[in-house]
Structure 1
Amino acid sequence: MNRPRLHALVGALVTLATARAPLPAQRPSTMAGRSTVYASSAVVATSQPLASAAGLEILRRGGNAIDAAVAAAAVLSVTEPHMTGIGGDMFAIVWLAREQKLVALNASGRAGSLMTRATLQARGFRAGSQQGVMSVTVPGALAGWDKLVRTHGKRTLAQVLQPAIGYARDGFPLSPIIAAQWADETTFLQRDSAAAATFLPRGRAPKAGEWFRNPDYARTLKTIADSGIGTFYGGSIGQRLVSRLAALNGFVTLDDLRKNAPTWVTPISVPFKGYRVWELPPNNQGIAALEMLRILEPYDLKTMGHNSPEYLHHLIEAKKLAYADLDRFVGDADHLDMPAEQMLTDAFIAERRSHLDAKRAQERMDPGPMRTKSETVYLTVADAEGNMVSFINSNYDSFGSGIVVPGTGFALHNRGAGFTLTEGLPNTVAPGKRPFHTLIPGFVTQTVNGREQAYMSFGLMGGGVQAQGHVQFLLNYFVFGMDLQASIDAPRFRHYDRNRVALEPPIGDGVRNALAAMGHLLIDQPTVAFGGAQAIVRLPKGYAAGSDPRKDGMAVGY
């Protein structure tokens, strides 16, 4: 791909895409410098401008939304290597315009055949935190990219990898937020000699505006483009990966890589304000967003007032209930002891709602009755045919496990940290199991003339904030009537555990004091903790799109 042409596209297409008309009955964003992007034919929203431009170029050259999403994801693996890459996992929800239906892909990898509960216990494994080689599971992202493009794309994987190969080979200037996050991981990267050699050129993290090249990763991607993903899942790259992990006493074997396969799954949904909100089923946390929406159904949230103490309290308490159920009931879909749909029934939701105290924060929530955490990129694409893609890809923690196989140019994820060692749960670690996942792409449909139609593709990166962030975004848009960009920009809360909750600084002292009086323990967290969102809305003609100012990204269209 021609580098100068892509750089020129960024500026030119932003100007073209932002010719817009206001959406009716919606309040625009008040954040300086950001407004909803409107485009007549197609649009791409990612967390990094070069990735957005690469996706748009694929669309202009005849590719569809699926091709553009994978191309953008591949570029993000170069420009945001701490967040994402072929060493991680991915999920996607896709609206297929021709078939008029949603399909969903779970491309999360499984625990290696040597990963057992007894071994992890003996080695001092602690769930939920970076654990080096103990946390490395089979990376599923690359197989997911390939499956999406082969099944629903118009281009080959080799073709859509070309922009990423070019940026890895020739270099690119770092954007500011990415540079700051990268620098924060300097000490962590120094623990692994290959990670330091790859990501700390000249002994430090590259600064904003400095050029970074990753020739090892360029060679890795070119090998995959030339030889196919088999070189990763059992071939020469896979052999190097397994040899390195074996030297570190890891758990993934060559046979584990060969057996890896993405899974087409049926998304789950709940009705919401005349629309239908869709998430992926377990092994990820999407069901928590749906459960929160259902718990909050009877409350007049609009009268409470946006981000008022009463409003935030109800959302935080609903979050505690839904996440308690995640801990108990969610894990590998093949190991659930209660069907996911059971958690969305009227009886189950009513029981959960009965534990919500409207006046007092509950320090501990038990899971519902039995019947029968992350560093991530989220992007979304819509094309002129009407296809829409909601796509998420992640290393889990920043730079994942911190392990780079020498000469490959990418970090292996630490998704195994999502397992628990507690016996008897769907998410209890075992060989061949998929771990609990924070990654959740979202989608919204509406019924028109008796048929389900695509309306919105959305998502929010940021580990455990994702499900609670989905709910806040949807309420901003559908309940409070904010326009798309304002719905993304609005200050968020993030609940952690017990009564610990963080609020973004625009939420004032009066609200904070009132929440503290209810028993909430307020803590300070950096902006990155509140995640970053992208979203696209299908209009009667064309699209609207937004991209989170908490990230370096942008929405562009034509």
Structure 2
Amino acid sequence: MRRRSFLAALPAAALAAPAFATSRQENPNRDRPDVRPGDRIDGATFASRSAAWGIHGAAATAHPLATQAAIDMLRAGGSAVDAAIAANAVLGYGEPISCGIGGDCFVMLWDPKARKVVGLNGSGRSPRGLSLETVRKRATPKGMIPSHGAIAVSVPGAVDAWWSLHQRYGKLAWKDLFAPAIAHCEDGAPIIQNTAFYLEASNRIFTRPGSGIEEVENFKKVWTRDGKTPREGEVFRNPELGRTYRQIAQGGGRAFYEGEIAETIERYFKRIGGWMTKADLAAHKSEWVEPRSISYRGVDVWALPPNSQGLVTLQMLNILDEFDVKAMGFQSAAAIHHAVEAKRLAFEDRARFYADPAFYRQPVEWLLSKDYARERARLIRPDAIAPTYYPGKAPSHGDTTYFTTADKDGMMVSIIQSNYRGMGSGLMPDGLGFMFQDRGELFALTDGHPNVYAPGKRPFQTIIPGFATRGGEPMLSFGVMGGDMQPQGQTQVVCNIVDFGLGLQEAGDAPRWHHDGGMEPTGEDLGQPGVLNLETGVPDATKAALAKLGWVMKPAPGGYGGYQAIQRHPGRYAAATEMRKDGVALAY
């Protein structure tokens, strides 16, 4: 049976009652900004909960079932890598609006034997048969690559990233890592709130007239019934994805790229007039890379190099290191203003210098130097917004899910995996149960740009895992999902912990800001000085002071990312999860 089944696991009596939660739009009692959270007896007044503590291992993901799968693997003697792979497979089933085996994957981890931070780039390349000329012919009126459809699809890197990780760090049998996800696909599980919300939005986007998506029947067959997606609490099955997982579990990670799955993908793209081939899939390999780091007030913060945007976090923190952020005050206008200006400066460099290093040599040493950070920091005025920022002059030489796991041996895995914009391209290969990413949208189409489209090239990537060490010891495995919010959110979390002394859960629960504006790596100009989005929890006095500085502010609900983290303490772990999502942090 290919068609998905709503409510199949519920007894008939349960179906007669309106058992499912209503949306905020349907229930006025759920849309009351004047009503604040209840009071906790201890901890920060704005915190949603306390961190989870344990001595043997920990996991924090955006879905309760994924966290449970990770803990089960750890209890069975698995490594943090085993736990991460099992969790990611479950997330591909339960949180498809953010991730899945049709997307890419980036990883940083603490290797306790080598005693160092290790990086893995699991991003795929553009189809080799798709030319720049063809892409330009399909461009939008603004000269950008469309967000959806086959033109935006690049090779999915997630499964090979899992395989590479397991080959080096796995302890349990590969096939056992997929058992929880396969069971959920076949038996069904209730849809969580955020997934229900974004599935409905995806359905509207993919099925609207003029979407440009070559084929949407496969999406509708798996994810809709009578034109509607499942609501929160409704039981959903995806037996197609379950069968695909079984093939990967039995055949190994390369079964996705070289066997029956790859042949099905090639036939699908031929049928709809796309470009990806079995040869493109077979050519894909993940790449072990050297993470880079900077010191921020005695804490070494790590990031992956381009084609990811990880260095943005390091650049922002380098600039903020020139100021006494602690003295400015937590959630103060001064602290937010300086951080946003640091973001604007770093993002101009992001737009100019970040691209596939196989095609362009980034001036990484210069970008991360303290001298350059000092030079950029001098451009920030405490009493005014800079009208425009530009990238530095380099020397002449040339919707996402984040989750983290840790094990009894001290390994900590920081992993992020995504289909990019929401669910992805809108395209689902026949009978395989997953959607392809639309990362190809992030190429530029301007001649001479480091990130200009080329066949067989990796696009600029927004997804970035985070990691921090102190004194050569692992300290923090963390991430904040959500496009360009990721380095902005990572910076805020680090400042909350290092500058303001917040606990792990409190650092994520604190109100956030998100700035939109400036140049993009695609060549698009979003305008200067841009818009500052603030969560409702930012103090009113801070908002008034920022407005006085001239910031144009909006609330932008839902645009502040999703945080998961594990912090290492001597002999124990603390785990935290995002209050804005539906995840769970557990430790034991």
TM-score by length of 1: 0.92
Letter in 1 for 2:550: G
Deviates more, 1:330-339 or 1:29-38: 29-38
The structure richer in helix per residue is 1
Letter in 2 for 1:465: M
- 1:476 alignment partner in structure 2: 496
Aligned equivalents of 1:418, 1:213: Cα separation in 2: 32
Unpaired stretches in structure 1, ≥5 consecutive residues: 5-26
Q: Which runs of structure 2 are paired with 1:161-200 in the superposition (5 Å)?
A: 161-190=178-207, 192-200=216-224
TM-score by length of 2: 0.87
Does 1:512 find its partner at 2:532? no
What is the identity percentage for the equivalent residue pairs of Structure 1 and Structure 2? 39
Q: Cα gap change, 1:359/1:33 in structure 2, threshold over 3 Å: closer, same or farther?
A: closer
Q: Which runs of structure 2 are paired with 1:527-538 in the superposition (5 Å)?
A: 527=558, 529-538=559-568
Q: Is the 8 A contact 1:74 1:164 kept in 2?
A: yes
Deviation at 1:32, TM superposition (A): 5.8
Q: Is the 8 A contact 1:86 1:410 kept in 2?
A: yes
Aligned equivalents of 2:378, 2:146: Cα separation in 1: 33
Does 1:398 find its partner at 2:422? yes
Aligned equivalents of 2:101, 2:195: Cα separation in 1: 18
The 4+ residue runs of structure 1 with deviation greater than 4 A are none
* CA displacement, residues 436-456 of structure 1 (integer Å, 9 cap, x when unaligned): 001110111111xxxx21111
- 1:423 alignment partner in structure 2: 447
Aligned equivalents of 1:246, 1:326: Cα separation in 2: 35
- 1:7 alignment partner in structure 2: none
- 2:585 alignment partner in structure 1: 555
Q: Is the 8 A contact 2:489 2:512 kept in 1?
A: yes
- 2:108 alignment partner in structure 1: 93
Aligned equivalents of 1:283, 1:128: Cα separation in 2: 18
- 1:23 alignment partner in structure 2: none
Aligned equivalents of 2:478, 2:145: Cα separation in 1: 26
Q: Which runs of structure 2 are paired with 1:203-282 in the superposition (5 Å)?
A: 203-282=227-306
Q: Secondary structure at the match of 1:404?
A: coil
Aligned equivalents of 1:32, 1:303: Cα separation in 2: 22
Letter in 2 for 1:520: W
Deviation at 1:513, TM superposition (A): 2.8
Does 1:489 find its partner at 2:506? no
Unpaired stretches in structure 2, ≥5 consecutive residues: 1-8, 10-41, 209-215, 518-527
Q: Secondary structure at the match of 1:229?
A: coil
Q: Secondary structure at the match of 2:400?
A: strand
Deviation at 1:103, TM superposition (A): 1.1
Q: Is the 8 A contact 2:101 2:156 kept in 1?
A: yes
Q: Which runs of structure 2 are paired with 1:132-143 in the superposition (5 Å)?
A: 132-143=149-160
Aligned equivalents of 1:80, 1:173: Cα separation in 2: 11
Q: Which runs of structure 2 are paired with 1:55-454 in the superposition (5 Å)?
A: 55-125=70-140, 126-127=143-144, 130-190=147-207, 192-371=216-395, 372=397, 375-447=399-471, 452-454=472-474
Aligned equivalents of 2:454, 2:360: Cα separation in 1: 14
Deviation at 1:477, TM superposition (A): 0.6
Q: Is the 8 A contact 2:47 2:505 kept in 1?
A: no
Letter in 1 for 2:197: A
* CA displacement, residues 233-289 of structure 1 (integer Å, 9 cap, x when unaligned): 132111221222233332322211110000000000001121200010111111010
Q: Is the 8 A contact 2:533 2:554 kept in 1?
A: yes
Deviation at 1:523, TM superposition (A): 2.1
Aligned equivalents of 1:511, 1:407: Cα separation in 2: 52
Deviation at 1:349, TM superposition (A): 1.8
Q: Secondary structure at the match of 1:556?
A: strand
Q: Is the 8 A contact 1:502 1:524 kept in 2?
A: yes
Question: Which residue among 523, 540, 554 is the counterpart of 1:523?
Answer: 554
Q: Secondary structure at the match of 1:505?
A: coil
- 1:19 alignment partner in structure 2: none
Question: Which residue among 486, 492, 497 is the counterpart of 1:466?
Answer: 486
Q: Secondary structure at the match of 1:427?
A: coil
Aligned equivalents of 1:302, 1:183: Cα separation in 2: 42
Q: How many residues align?
A: 526
Deviation at 1:402, TM superposition (A): 0.8
Letter in 2 for 1:132: G
Q: Is the 8 A contact 2:138 2:145 kept in 1?
A: no
Deviation at 1:364, TM superposition (A): 2.7
Letter in 2 for 1:77: G
Aligned equivalents of 2:301, 2:310: Cα separation in 1: 10
Q: Secondary structure at the match of 1:28?
A: coil
* CA displacement, residues 90-131 of structure 1 (integer Å, 9 cap, x when unaligned): 000111112212211000001111233221111124547613
Does 1:29 find its partner at 2:60? no
Aligned equivalents of 1:81, 1:260: Cα separation in 2: 23
Deviates more, 1:200-209 or 1:76-85: 200-209
